[in-house]
Amino acid sequence: MYRAGETVIVTQDDVNRVGVVLDQYIAAKQTVYDVLLENRSALCMITTAPKNNTRINRQLTAKLCNNDNASVIEHTIPYKELVEAEELPITKS
């Protein structure tokens, strides 16, 4: 489970991108996430299921975004400032 503000790696059509989790919720008995990517595009209702073309890549996220790792990848999105200014995109449908 990923929390809002956490850095994740999103795999979309075999291309990996860095993003930040905006929200997490349950839909159809499955945990889904809204993610804002580095290029400022938002993805809604993505999962971690490997069968999906667009998903949060659990293995890469654990390997590259883990705080215990010396080469931690962090998102460059000013998440805290966007939250404080209430400028995060509204992504829930």
The residue extents of the domains of the chain are 7-84
Which pairs with CB-CB distance under 8 Å and at least 24 residues apart come from 31-36?
31/1, 33/2, 33/8, 34/91, 34/92, 35/8, 35/10, 36/77, 36/88, 36/89
What does the pLDDT average to over 48-53? 91
What does the pLDDT average to over 47-56? 92
Which is nearest to 91 in space by CA: 48, 50, 33?
Answer: 33
Which is nearest to 54 in space by CA: 62, 38, 64, 43?
Answer: 43
Rounded percentage of the chain residues whose pLDDT exceeds 70: 91
**Residue 67 confidence (pLDDT):** 66
**Residue 2 confidence (pLDDT):** 92
> How far is CA 55 from its chain centroid?
9
Q: Which residue has the higher pLDDT, 49 or 69?
A: 49
pTM, rounded to two decimals: 0.83
**Residue 78 confidence (pLDDT):** 84
**Residue 54 confidence (pLDDT):** 94
| Residue 82 reports pLDDT greater than 90 | no
**Contact between residue 46 and residue 33 where contact means Cβ atoms under 8 Å apart:** yes
Which is nearest to 35 in space by CA: 45, 25, 48?
Answer: 45
Task: Kindly report the average pLDDT of the chain as a whole number.
Answer: 86
